[in-house]
Copies of this chain bind each other. A is one copy, B any other.
Amino acid sequence: MKILGNADRGCRRGPAEWFTGEVWIDTVLDTAWLGGGARVQAAQVTFTPGARTHWHTHPLGQTLYVLSGLGWVQLEGEAKRAIRPGDVVALAPGENHWHGAEAGHMMCHLAMQEADATGSPVTWGAAVTDEEYGG
């Protein structure tokens, strides 16, 4: 058993290859902390106003749990939808989507996803354009 405070865990800037705008990622669940067999990972992700992920998919799906602020999520081919504190977004394997903060508000969510046999929990695509974000 390990007890890890914030000072014991990583907090890093979300890289430009995966995000548009300023995003911060706090590790909550590193699979390696659990010992053998587990494949889930989790992070608390904080988006500044207007910041968002690139389009992406997850091989075993993803769950977002909104902790604070106001944000958007969009599934490819559908209109974007607002997400608020207390909301859970459940994404099935392979669903192409993005999520991020509303233009005038922060948004913080916990993100949980499992890695597949290749060890990867995500496949990244193109950046969300300003036209897509504003659509």
| Choice from B1, B62, B75, B114 contacting A91 with Cβ under 8 Å | B1
Interface code A12-44, partner B: CB below 8 Å = 1, 0 otherwise? Answer: 000000000000000011100111111110100
Nearest CB on B from A11, distance (A): 11
Nearest CB on B from A56, distance (A): 13
Chain A: number of interface residues, binned into ranges: 35 or more
Note all chain B residues with C-beta closer than 8 A to A110: 65, 110
Cα A114 to Cα B29 with chains together (Å): 12
Judge whether B87 and A4 touch: CB under 8 Å: yes
Q: Quickly give the copy total for this chain.
A: 2
| Choice from B40, B65, B90 contacting A114 with Cβ under 8 Å | B40
Note all chain B residues with C-beta closer than 8 A to A40: 40, 63, 112, 114
> In A104-127, which residues have CB < 8 Å from any B CB?
110, 112, 114
Residue of B nearest to A1 (CB): B75
Note all chain B residues with C-beta closer than 8 A to A1: 73, 75, 78, 89-92, 95, 97
Nearest CB on B from A103, distance (A): 20
User: Could you list which residues of chain A lie within 8 angstroms of chain B, going by C-beta atoms?
Assistant: 1-6, 9, 28-30, 33-40, 42, 59-63, 65, 73, 75, 78, 81, 83-84, 86-93, 95, 97, 110, 112, 114
Can you give 28 contacting A-B residue pairs, CB < 8 Å? A1-B78, A1-B90, A1-B91, A1-B95, A1-B97, A2-B89, A2-B90, A3-B73, A3-B88, A3-B89, A4-B88, A4-B89, A5-B84, A5-B88, A6-B86, A28-B63, A29-B88, A29-B90, A30-B90, A33-B63, A34-B61, A34-B63, A34-B91, A35-B92, A35-B93, A37-B59, A37-B60, A40-B112
